[in-house]
Amino acid sequence: MGQIPYHILKTLSTKSKMNGHIGEESELRHFRAHPHLRRSHLVKRIWSFVLIFILLFAIYKTWKWGVEQAYETTIIVITPTHKRPERLADMTRFSQTLGHIRNLHWIVIEDGNHTVEPVERILQRSKLPYTYFYTTTKPGFPKRGWTHRNMGLEYIRKHYKNYNRNAVVYFGDDDNSYDLRLFNNYIRSVETIGVWAVGLSGAALVEAPHVVNGSITKWDVVYAPSRKFAVDMAGFAVNLKLVLGTNASFHEGCIKNVPESCFLTQFGIPRDKVRPYGYDDDPKEILVWHTKTRNIGTKGERHGYVIE
């Protein structure tokens, strides 16, 4: 086809502009004649901007949440457990506490020759990522979870050796009482070793680090205050990097000593470089309690219910 002559194109363009100008004037006259339509049109435009803003804000928050999830510190909890009448009650309570904590891997080690179905069901109901296996106490070791904590450490060193995110390891017994803030405010921010107060630890009302100018100078404890690390098992956490970089464990040499201090000494971190938590809070609240569920002598039949 041939080209359209220039004067025709110019005429068409002029008419188009005129028509557009006439259309705009007609729309303005229409709005002036009907003010309520002008208000309605304005409201629609405002709502369009509001909806666009809300959509963009939602996209931003979703993106930010994803970034935070990708870089949030993982908490690895090692829990030895053994058969006893009150165990299922303890595990139920503990699982429903941990279920509120993000990015947590629960490693549970059964003291026995097999895992236990009711415990497995509790772990499944928690919806947490978990690992559940069994082992018996190594000959010559105390029957207080030493072997099981060591197995948990071995599992971590094998399966987390190439982990490219920050993580912290915590020994959480199944019968203690935990505040959610312990995990979110204390444990998740531990960079080397972190310590804090524990209520009802042994014969003490509370055991805690004694802090002066941000550094630990001694331990406010009843039992063996001269220990290098006079802490309860529930009163400390260790960054994954330290665990992977050493062979620290509850080994034979710890049997004649206090296990917590023996274990922590192996990391080579000076006491004044350990970070204390909660000492300067107001009020100074305890976020973990060394409670014990005791069997006072249960009697009777199971009546078909699941109980150990």
Residues involved in catalysis: 260
In 3-state terms, the chain is what percent helix, strand and coil (to 5)? 45, 20, 40
The answer to the question of whether 282 is labelled as a binding residue is no
Task: Find the helix packing angle between 117-126 and 87-98, rounded to 10°.
Answer: 20
Find how far residue 220's CA is from the centre of its chain: 28
- Binding residue numbers for Mn(2+): 175
